[in-house]
Chain A
């Protein structure tokens, strides 16, 4: 049922319970799901050998197929990891942009990405960890520590949004310098391996490296639902939000923590995949035309960008496979710019 006074929203009632649905966001989410399904099937079909969509569907459904090895063992895990990483990054970006009240904020800006990178590169370059085995743990730990440090330093009688971004930039710059030091000081071969990790790649991704990300996302779902509701008042200035009864400090801490955890885990699973967390929420916002960054559309946009970028990364210079992080910017940036140019919204 549509609301009479509130155009653009639908109200779903069940007894005394009622749910408010932003119609355009719901439609965009549906569209993104369809596009995502198409991209996933295309990713599973295309490769050194082309597999028909019918065979792909068979494999995904677990039916016997001659293409089981190529699709099921080689391509599917990589696509699934891409989906998980993209979802995590899109959601993390939306949460952090909401907390920072800044469309330029993202895990890359508030220290998480560089925290993960510096830790992995440092430990890899000095041979403490092998670049595949323990790197995810190192990345998660490094991202978490850096993100929490930035949040703590930005705290002064409550979180100051601008301090959050500025301190994040400061810490990120310091950590990127540190990363450069590790790369030059470290052993040549190890440093090379670290450099590959730094571009963000899904090459050789398997369930064992990223399956746990599915559990993290599942656990994040209730928190995201809670955050989505609070977003209706958190997008005002602080005084208005408090006046509406929002426990501002608590909700911001919850949103920032979830964003930091998700971004750290994404970096752990695939390395730092550039730009997805920044642009996915902004693309989703312009598609959904909602008053605040739409969390679920952002997550879906993130997934779509990463899976599509990885498909391009695999096929563009085939048989050479590019790291996905090289392509995400190439896919998303022109689209975001096109949206910015034709939309009525400014960049602010």
Chain B
């Protein structure tokens, strides 16, 4: 390892840090012949929550996969601590960067504690399979995600929200400064969505973790993101704080949707309200008459 590279033992950078440990430069991503993302630059602010939004098939999940070394770039590079991801041994990456795919699958019948304990793999070796640090990290992860009571339960028996908390606990036990989440709220009802996003927010604030998440819901993105990246057709259309970025023009440009953007009555962040729904001609006339 070269000397100038920051050590992973450094304390996580605080929320005020303006560094960029993770960034993509001139990134082109393709599946076989189909190019999904072309010549994209993005810098992930340390210690912040970055949310990537955009319409279906805009390349947001593809970008996240590349940031997590699941997809090799066709051109350009993803840099972690200034070093090209492809050149860092995958286990070293796993010590610094954790990821939660969109629909992860666990071995059948595995208990929550067993699942979470497997997040410690990058810190273990053939002769160090379970250290006191592993033990501490797992119980802390269970504690923080409120899954300690579920520890003995089988993953198969849990509700969607509980299961997602267990997966996050596993990513947490991995003890990485950077966490990538691919649509962590998909398949959850609204209460569980809020629960998961609040958890992510807390981990960011209390532990200074850098979070990059792909979210479907623009309003949720505006509520939880410090930094918003809006994508369309494999390009970044706009990025910055949600208050600056989310406007009716942007929504039209990115999603092709007419909308009104008002302040969220609870948080004051931008709230996107789509234009009036379709109504039948007869109804329209009735509305006008009344």
Contacts and interface: CB of A to CB of B under 8 A. Distances in A.
B68 interface: yes
Given A6-B117, A229-B126, A232-B121, A245 B91 contact: yes
Name which of B100, B101, B122, B129 has the most chain A CB atoms within 10 A of its CB: B129
Contacts of A3: 130, 135
A348 B108 CA distance: 9
Interface in A1-41: 3-9, 11, 16-20
A233 B151 CA distance: 19
Contacts of A236: 104-107, 118
Contacts, number: 114
B185 interface: no
B114 A19 contact: no
Contacts of A5: 113, 117, 135, 138-139, 142, 151
A246 B90 contact: yes
Given A5-B138, A245-B121, A19 B109 contact: no
B135 A17 contact: no
Contacts of B95: 245
Contact of B68 (A243, A292, A346): A243
Contact of B108 (A229, A232, A242, A345): A345
A237 B138 contact: no
A291 B109 contact: yes
Contact of A20 (B99, B107, B130, B171): B130
Nearest to B101: A239
Chain B, interface residues (CB within 8 Å), range = 35 or more
A8 B151 CA distance: 12
Contacts of B122: 244-245
A5 B118 CA distance: 12
A160 interface: no
Interface in B96-128: 98-101, 103-111, 113-114, 117-119, 121-122, 126-128
A6 B113 contact: yes
Majority SS of interface residues in chain A? Answer: loop
B107 A239 contact: no
Contacts of A243: 68, 70, 94, 98-101, 171
A3 B135 CA distance: 8
A344 interface: yes
Contact of A7 (B70, B113, B131, B139): B113
Interface residues of A, number: 37
A3 B151 CA distance: 13
A5 B114 CA distance: 9
Interface string A211-239: 00000000000000110010011011111
A289 interface: yes
B118 A244 contact: yes
A243 B130 CA distance: 19
Given A243-B99, A245-B94, A17 B128 contact: yes
B248 interface: no
B93 interface: yes
Contacts of A233: 118, 121
A180 interface: no
Nearest to A228: B126
A20 B113 CA distance: 14
Interface of A: 3-9, 11, 16-20, 225-226, 229, 232-233, 235-240, 242-247, 289, 291-292, 344-346, 348
Which 8 residue pairs spanning A and B have beta carbons closest together? Answer: A245-B94, A245-B91, A239-B101, A291-B107, A245-B122, A291-B110, A20-B129, A235-B107
9 contacts: A5-B138, A19-B130, A226-B126, A229-B126, A232-B118, A233-B121, A245-B95, A291-B106, A291-B109
Given A229-B126, A236-B107, A239-B99, 5 more contacts: A6-B113, A8-B114, A239-B65, A239-B70, A244-B121
Interface of B: 65, 68-70, 90-95, 98-101, 103-111, 113-114, 117-119, 121-122, 126-131, 135, 138-139, 142, 151-152, 171, 174
